[in-house]
Amino acid sequence: MLPLGSRAASLSFAAVLASLLLASGSLPTELLSELRWSRDVPFLQQPHRYLTAHFAHLDFFHAAWNAGGFLLVWIVLHDYLTAGRWLAVFLIAVLAIDIGLMEWSRFDWYVGASGWIHALAAAGISTRALQGERLAIALGVLGVAKLAAEVCNPQLASLGHGAVVATLVHLIGVAAGASCALAFALRDRVTREATGARQ
């Protein structure tokens, strides 16, 4: 079932969102500082930061990397879940990442879409892996290897300009996405069993 009605609509949505991510790499420094997640700014004072940080980027390279990553994930996985479930994965991932940044990181500020992109990838891959699809299982193994490389080799996590990839955010995103996939699978199983029982 395609999440946005048709393949053309789904890919058009992806193209628009990727373009917005790409454009965020050219934001003025002053505006970027107002959009990023900041440990020094209380949630109730500027709550928008807890969402806008996940769409803003440091520079064009950072934005292009994430826009390309999103397009790749969406083109390959977009028909694995419904629109409502993709939205749920996104929102749960953003919430989990915001909590993780505050409670488990030493970052003073954060911007970037890579966390929720990792969540989308993990949700899609896990959905098919739970169904026994071999390609999905292989992609999952590659994903785990990629995260392990980030953790074990900090040099791979450099963005330049003194900034680093927030590997913790990637880990939280993957955990959120995989957890959502498991929850969806369990819900579907309960629904099937309940339907079968009524019949």
Q: CATH no. for residue 148? A: 1.20.1540.10
Query: What pTM does this model have?
Result: 0.93
> Looking at residue 2, what is its pLDDT?
45
Q: Nearest CA to 168 among 115, 125, 94?
A: 115
User: Is residue 117's pLDDT more than 60?
Assistant: yes
Under 8 Å between Cβ of 157 and 165: yes
Q: Could you tell me if residue 1 is inside a domain?
A: no
User: Is residue 15's pLDDT more than 60?
Assistant: yes
Under 8 Å between Cβ of 176 and 119: yes
Q: Nearest CA to 30 among 66, 56, 67?
A: 56
> Looking at residue 76, what is its pLDDT?
92
Q: Could you tell me if residue 110 is inside a domain?
A: yes
pLDDT classification of 199: cutoffs 50, 70, 90? low
Q: Could you tell me if residue 2 is inside a domain?
A: no
pLDDT classification of 3: cutoffs 50, 70, 90? very low
The dihedral built from the CA positions of residue 193, 194, 197 and 199, taken in this order, carries a sign that is: negative
Q: Could you tell me if residue 69 is inside a domain?
A: yes
> Looking at residue 165, what is its pLDDT?
77
Q: pLDDT tens across 42-80, in order?
A: 999 999 999 999 999 999 999 999 999 999 999 999 999
| Averaged pLDDT, 117-136 | 96
Q: Could you tell me if residue 97 is inside a domain?
A: yes
Q: Could you tell me if residue 23 is inside a domain?
A: yes
- State which of 9-13, 75-79, 124-128 shows the largest mean pLDDT: 124-128
The dihedral built from the CA positions of residue 92, 93, 99 and 104, taken in this order, carries a sign that is: positive
Domain that holds residue 37: 7-198
> Looking at residue 1, what is its pLDDT?
43
User: Is residue 29's pLDDT more than 90?
Assistant: yes
**Per the structure, how many domains does the chain have?**
1
Question: Cβ of 86: how many Cβ atoms within 10 Å?
Answer: 22
- State which of 18-27, 153-162, 187-196 shows the largest mean pLDDT: 18-27
Residue with tokens 């993990």: 122
Pairwise CA distance, residues 17 & 105, whole Å: 28
Q: How many CA atoms lie within 13 A of 61 on its CB side?
A: 6
Q: pLDDT tens across 151-160, in order?
A: 888 666 666 5
> Looking at residue 158, what is its pLDDT?
61
Q: Could you tell me if residue 150 is inside a domain?
A: yes
